[in-house]
């Protein structure tokens, strides 16, 4: 595996393709778990492939732990995408994606800004339709990065009530958007 990674790091497209192929079913499984506004299933799969390419570029040769490293990278990148912590890479078929030095220098296009603005407007409109407590939970959990335990400690409700309220709020948001 280390030899294959070394070839991929030297921009060997065949080696990169073989590595992606090894993680294809995990990517499909993980992509099927998420429903992110503005992303189709195919977009999520593409994001998984990009996660593997990123893992290849960041992996330290000789560590002999690429499988675990890559699996963890795929799962974490999907979670980060869900939380909005990853900038959207506009997927355009291009060999530049395999150029690891320039892959991180993506610049937003006007189209990206228009899409982002529209999505933010939809999100705020949906948030305005939530009950005040539901909105507070969503904002504190996803924006302020508070745990549900922290939120529950400052209230007379139990942790499990907050879990149910958060789930209910997310279902409402999904419906509204």
User: Residue 110 has what pLDDT?
Assistant: 66
Q: Which CATH architecture has domain 110-176?
A: Orthogonal Bundle (1.10)
What does the domain layout of the chain look like in residue ranges?
Answer: 2-98, 110-176
Question: Which residue pairs, CB below 8 angstroms and at least 24 apart, start in 101-109?
Answer: 103/53, 103/54, 103/57
> Tens digit of pLDDT per residue, the chain (177 long)?
788 888 888 888 888 888 888 888 888 888 888 777 777 888 888 888 888 888 888 888 877 788 888 888 888 888 877 776 454 444 444 445 445 455 455 555 666 667 777 777 888 888 889 899 998 888 888 888 888 888 888 888 888 988 999 899 889 888 887
User: Residue 107 has what pLDDT?
Assistant: 58
pLDDT tens-digit map of 46-69: 888 888 888 888 888 877 788 888
Topology (CATH level 3) of domain 2-98: Rna Polymerase Sigma Factor; Chain: A (1.10.1740)
State the Cα angle at 102 between 49 and 68, rounded to 5°. Answer: 35
User: Residue 164 has what pLDDT?
Assistant: 92
Q: Round to whole Å and give the CA distance between 35 and 45.
A: 12
pLDDT tens-digit map of 134-148: 988 888 888 888 888
Rounded to two decimals, the pTM is 0.47
User: Residue 109 has what pLDDT?
Assistant: 65
Q: Do domains 2-98 and 110-176 have the same CATH topology?
A: no
Sign of the torsion formed by the C-alpha atoms of 50, 51, 54 and 59: negative
User: Residue 101 has what pLDDT?
Assistant: 52
Q: Which candidate, 31, 132, 1, places its Cα nearest to that of 9?
A: 1
């Amino acid at each position: 595996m280390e030899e294959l990674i070394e070839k991929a790091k030297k921009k060997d497209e065949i080696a990169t393709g073989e590595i992606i192929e090894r993680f294809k079913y995990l990517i499909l499984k993980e992509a099927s778990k998420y429903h992110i506004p503005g992303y189709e299933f195919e977009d999520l799969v593409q994001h998984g492939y990009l996660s593997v390419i990123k893992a290849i570029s960041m992996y330290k040769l000789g560590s002999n732990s690429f499988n675990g490293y890559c699996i963890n990278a795929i799962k974490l990148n999907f979670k980060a995408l869900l939380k909005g912590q990853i900038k959207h890479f506009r997927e355009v078929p291009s060999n530049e994606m395999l150029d690891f030095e320039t892959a991180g220098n993506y610049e937003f296009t006007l189209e990206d800004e228009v899409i982002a603005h529209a999505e933010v407007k939809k999100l705020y409109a949906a948030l305005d339709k939530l009950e005040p407590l539901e909105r507070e939970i969503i904002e504190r959990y996803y924006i302020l990065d508070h745990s549900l335990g922290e939120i529950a400690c400052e209230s007379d409700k139990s942790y499990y009530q907050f879990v149910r309220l958060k789930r209910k709020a997310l279902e409402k948001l999904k419906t509204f958007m």
